[in-house]
Structure formats: C-alpha cells, structure tokens
Amino acid sequence: MAGKPKVAMCWLGACGGCDEAVVDLNEVILQVADAVDFVLWPVALDFKYKHIESMKDGEINLSIVSGSVRNSEQEEIAHLLRKKSQLVLSFGTCACFGGTAGLANFRTKEDILNWVYRDAPTVVNPERHIPQTKTWIGEKELTLPEFYDHVFTLDQIIPVDYYLPGCPPPPDLIANAVNAVVKGDLPPKGSALAPRQALCDVCVRNKTKPYRMEIDKIRRVHEVEADPDTCFLAKGILCLGLATRAGCGETCIRTNMPCRGCFGPVEGVEDAGAKYLSAVASLLKVERDEDIKPIVDSIVDPAGCFYRFTQPSSILGKKKAEKVKEG
C-alpha cells in the first residue's frame, strides 16, 4: 500500500461510545494516527463532509462507520462513505445489529413522535407541534432530516465489508482491525473481526457451570446475592453468554453482571434473539406443560431481554425493513 492508508471515521445513529472507545486506545492511538491518514473523524478532527465529497471514488482505504440508520441524513452519509471507500467496517453493535436504538422498532414512528413531543409528562407543548422536514421562518426555509419508520443496520443500507461488534468494541480488537488494514492482512469479506466462539466458552466462571444445568425459576440480579465466582445461570440469573460471541473481555461478567448480548450471536446464527430463547428454553426444569408458563412469566420484558441489541437484524426486523423499503 503506497503511502499511509486513508481512514474515515463517522457515527450515524449512535451515542458516540464507539468513537470514545478509539480514544480509549490511550497511547496506542498515537501509533494508529502515525500509521494512517485520518480524512474524517467528526468527534476529534475538523473535517467536513464537503471534503469527502471532493475526493475520488474509492480514494479512502477504510471507512469505520458506527451507528444504526434512522434518518435521511444518516443514510446519505452512509452512501457517501461507501462510494468513496474501498472498504467499509461496520463498527460497533448499533451498526452491526441495530443496537438498543433498534428496540424502537417495536413502536411506530407516530408513537415515538407523539410521546417525545406531545405526551411525555415533562413536555410543555400546548400547540402539540412535532418536527417537520420543512419549515418556513419568515422568508427562510429550514429543513430537517426525515425520521424513518424503521431503524436499519448499516448493511441494510449499504454493502459492508467487515464487522466489528461491541458496545463499544474493546481497544484490543480495534487495534487489531486497524493493523490488519495497514498490513493488508484481512480475512475474507463479510467476516467479523472478533473471536468465533461463544463468550461462555472463555468465561472466567465457566468452571462453575454445572454439567447438567436446570433452571426452575428465572431470577433477576437484585433478587439474589450473586456470588462473584459462580456461573449466573447456575443461580437462575439470565446470562446470554452461552449464545453471544466472545471478544468483549468479559467486562460485564467481571463486574458481577450477566452478559446482555452486546456482541451479537455466534458465527452462523441469523437471529440472536431466537437463539437466546432456544438456549434458555433448553435449560428450564419442567416436568409438565403447565410448569412452563410461571417460569416464562418471570422473565421481565422478554423482547427487551433477548433482542436488546439485535432487533433490526433479526428475522422479524429484516422482514419489516424490506416492507418499509418497498413502501
């Protein structure tokens, strides 16, 4: 690769935590900055989109894009970066799977706007106005991006070359991904730049997991005294590490909290929520059909639990996305 590779970083529908994770590389970020030429990074550098528009198609070696897509401006930026880039990395859980913002797909666009601008108890809006894409103030027209009916993953909007999940991705995987691009040592396109095995396989508590697991009641963390060394599932606490991709560094586990599934499903699984449901169901201790309902009812917010990070990329989410695109 002649000269430094050109790299663009941009967040779309995201909290900015993925960009902060890059900053968390600490002194390693200096090595990264020395190895690449950043041409866009709104959180840290004063480049504008017009600079990207002026570049040749494919001039950027790698665009690292975080966040889901929920409005027209975000879609426009995604298409721009795809056009100008040789490679696009879907960076972080929101870009890869939709993230927590994807839970909004369980509500309609109208429900969301009405609650935020009209019905929430803290709202003071007697005229009950909601934002419009075009508004005239005197003789000046003001515009806002269109708020879509659906939260999309990045690869539902543009072709993506590689994926790096995580909420946010950990510094070691970020550094490995950038180094792979610099050295030209990349796996086949479509790969996730993260371990293939399940978190459960590498969990520090794995040795305390019973050979035969049977759960007679689902418990929440605050309902039991969680032993910092014992498998959460053995205590009846839902932990999604048994079907979640490893690579996070067991951050939640090490702070005595169960895995919530932010790294998405293991290799080859299309619907993370369905896989979690199947895995948990196989552990339930039931002898009669009527034993199932009380256990299932003890799961608070099943959709939010099993699809916390992955609703847009699920089978149902994809079907809805297709219908939205078809109009």
Question: What's the structural domain count of the chain?
Answer: 3
User: Do 161 and 176 fall into the same domain?
Assistant: yes
Q: What is the largest CA-CA distance in the chain?
A: 73
Cis peptide before 258 (omega within 30 of 0): no
- The pair of structure tokens assigned to 311 is 């609703």
Pairing status of strand 85-91 against strand 140-143? unpaired
User: At CA 186, angle to CA 269 and CA 184, rounded to 5?
Assistant: 165
Q: Which residues make Cβ contacts (< 8 Å) with residue 279, sequence separation at least 6?
A: 242, 243
Band of the pLDDT at 283, cuts 50, 70, 90?
confident
Nearest CA to 75 among 148, 172, 18, 167? 148
230 and 164 within one domain: no
Within a domain: 192: no
**pTM of the entire structure?**
0.92
Instruction: Please check whether residue 189 lies inside any domain of the structure.
Output: no
Model confidence at 240, pLDDT cuts 50, 70, 90, reads very high
Percent with pLDDT over 90 in the chain: 67
For the chain, give the mean pLDDT.
91
Task: Provide the pLDDT confidence category of residue 212 given band limits of 50, 70 and 90.
Answer: confident
Domain end call among 148, 173, 207: 148
Is residue 85 domain-resident?
yes
Position 316 confidence tier, pLDDT thresholds 50, 70, 90: confident
Residue where one domain finishes, among candidates 158, 183, 208: 183
Is 213 among the domain residues? yes
Q: Which of the 8 DSSP states describes residue 250?
A: S
Tell me which residue of 95, 115, 109 sits closest to 147, measured CA to CA.
109
Q: Is 42 a domain residue?
A: yes
Do residues 45 and 158 both lie within one domain?
yes
**Residue 119 and residue 224 share a domain:** no
- Across 68-94, average pLDDT: 98
Whether the pLDDT of residue 1 is over 60: the answer is no
Instruction: Choose from 115-119, 176-180, 218-222 the range with maximum mean pLDDT.
Output: 115-119
Question: What pLDDT does residue 150 have?
Answer: 94
Q: For residue 319, what are its two tokens?
A: 């079907």
- Of the chain, the percentage scoring pLDDT greater than 70 comes to 97
Provide the pLDDT confidence category of residue 2 given band limits of 50, 70 and 90: low
What pLDDT score was predicted for residue 172?
Answer: 92
**What is the DSSP code (8-state) at residue 140?**
E
Dihedral of CA atoms 278, 284, 288, 290 in degrees, nearest 10, equals -80
Same domain, yes or no, for 136 and 10? no
**Residue 44 belongs to a domain:** yes
Q: What is the mean pLDDT of residues 12-36?
A: 86
Residue 257's Cβ-count burial label (10 Å; 0-12, 13-18, 19+) is: middle
**Domain end marker among 129, 159, 183:** 183
**Domain match, 134 and 263 both:** no
The pLDDT assigned to 160 comes to: 98
Whole-angstrom CA distances from 180 to 151, 184, 193, 283 are: 30, 6, 10, 39
Is the domain of 139 the same as that of 162? no
For residues 139 and 153, membership in a common domain is answered with no
Q: What is the pLDDT of residue 327?
A: 66
* Helical pair 171-183 and 28-35, crossing angle rounded to 10 deg: 20
The residue range of the domain holding 275 is 199-326
Q: Are 305 and 204 within one domain?
A: yes
Distance (Å, whole) CA 273 – CA 270 = 9
Query: What phi and psi, each to the nearest 5 degrees, are found at residue 135?
Result: -140, 140
- One domain, residues 29 and 113: no
Strand 140-143 to 134-137 pairing: antiparallel
- The reply to whether 191 falls in a domain is no
Residue 231 lies in a domain: yes
Same-domain status, 164 and 86? yes
- pLDDT average, residue stretch 237-261: 94
Assess whether 71 and 133 both reside in one domain.
no
